[in-house]
Structure 1
């Protein structure tokens, strides 16, 4: 049994192959940032499909691509509509100024009062 043992090398620690004549795949560095601001850089092949998220090796949370505006995502981002935007959909600025003046006049004359909570 001792005759068949590998001598002079540790198994799995070293390789007899050399990198001579080997063409490595083109790579790019993709940077991800998690919500806790941990930054992770991952080398990937240029031919690989790059995932939108990557698990943060420090905290385990989902990290998003840094500097990416989700241009590749199929679903467009929905813009946030504020109360002012919705109000402007129903009324014009001139009409709003007129309503404000009427309401302020009612408050000043005591016709309408504001309850304190």
Structure 2
């Protein structure tokens, strides 16, 4: 075992694999342009989903794809709150009636957690 040791071979920083006979994956060059007009290219796999924006590795600026057409924005639905959804089912007067009924039941001790119930007068 001692004679098979790889002493001084810088393991981890140097590969002993041979590149002969290795077929590289198909690639494509994508060109990006920064706001100041600087262009740079990025090599990506053919089947990769190509992002619309990429950071220039040299300058750090954000570049946009040269041949990219931004997609049309979809009409967004307005955000509905819980209150909006509640008002779709009931009117405000109905909600006030329900609130009054529930408060009466809560104060009477019929609903709610036991520690909130009012204690009745003890008879002697």
**In 2, distance between residues paired with 1:74 and 1:37?**
23
Which 5+ residue runs of structure 1 have no aligned equivalent? 77-117
**1:25 has 2:25 as partner:** yes
How many residue pairs match? The answer is: 72
Between the aligned partners of 1:38 and 1:74, the Cα distance in structure 2 is: 24
- Alpha-carbon distance between aligned partners in 2 of 1:38 and 1:5, rounded to the nearest angstrom: 51
Equivalent in the alignment of 1:74: 71
Calculate the aligned-residue CA RMSD, in Å: 2.6
Asked whether the equivalents of residues 56 and 62 of structure 1 are also in contact (C-alpha less than 8 Å), the reply is: yes
* Per-residue deviation, 1:28: 0.6
Cα distance in structure 1, aligned partners of 2:22 and 2:59: 36
Which structure would you say has the larger RCO, counting Cα contacts within 8 Å and 6 or more residues apart? 1
Hey, what's the Cα distance between the residues in 1 that align with 2:51 and 2:68?
Answer: 14
Report the Cα offset of residue 36 of structure 1.
Answer: 2.1
Per-residue deviation, 1:15:
0.8
> In the aligned structure 2, how far is the partner of 1:52 from the partner of 1:35?
14
1:24-103 to 2 correspondences below 5 Å: 24-66=24-66, 68-70=67-69, 73-75=70-72
Task: Tell which structure's C-alpha radius of gyration is larger.
Answer: 2
Pairing 1:5-20 to 2, within 5 Å after superposition = 6-20=6-20
TM-score (norm 1): 0.50
